[in-house]
Chains A and B, each alone.
Chain A
Amino acid sequence: QVQLVQSGAEVKKPGASVKVSCKASGYTFTSYGISWVRQAPGQGLEWMGWISAYNGNTNYAQKLQGRVTMTTDTSTSTAYMELRSLRSDDTAVYYCARDLLGWDYWGQGTLVTVSS
Chain B
Amino acid sequence: QSVLTQPPSASGTPGQRVTISCSGSSSNIGSNYVYWYQQLPGTAPKLLIYRNNQRPSGVPDRFSGSKSGTSASLAISGLRSEDEADYYCAAWDDSWVFGGGTKLTVL
Within 8 A of A (CB), among B17-40: 35, 37
Within 8 A of A (CB), among B40-94: 44-47, 50-51, 54, 56, 88, 90
Contact A95 B101 (CB under 8 A): no
**Central interface residue in A97, A102, A106, by most chain B CB within 10 Å:** A102
Interface residues on chain A, size class: 10 to 19
Contact B44 A46 (CB under 8 A): no
Contact A103 B45 (CB under 8 A): yes
Contact A47 B95 (CB under 8 A): yes
Interface residues on chain B, size class: 20 to 34
A72-112: contact bitstring with B at CB < 8 Å (1 yes, 0 no)? 00000000000000000000000101000111101111000
CA distance A109 to B44 in the complex (A): 7
Is residue A45 within 8 Å, beta carbon to beta carbon, of the partner chain?
yes
Contact A95 B100 (CB under 8 A): no
Given contacts A101-B51, A102-B35, contact A44 B44 (CB under 8 A): no
The contact of B100 among A44, A47, A101, A103, by CB within 8 Å, is A44
Footprint of A on B, CB under 8 Å?
A: 2, 35, 37, 44-47, 50-51, 54, 56, 88, 90, 95-101
Which 9 pairs show the lowest CB-CB distances between chains A and B? A102-B50, A47-B96, A106-B44, A102-B47, A102-B35, A44-B101, A45-B98, A101-B50, A104-B47
For the A-B complex with A61-B95, A103-B37 known, give 14 more contacts whose Cβ atoms are closer than 8 Å: A44-B2, A44-B88, A45-B37, A45-B90, A45-B98, A46-B98, A47-B96, A95-B44, A102-B51, A102-B56, A103-B45, A104-B47, A104-B50, A104-B56
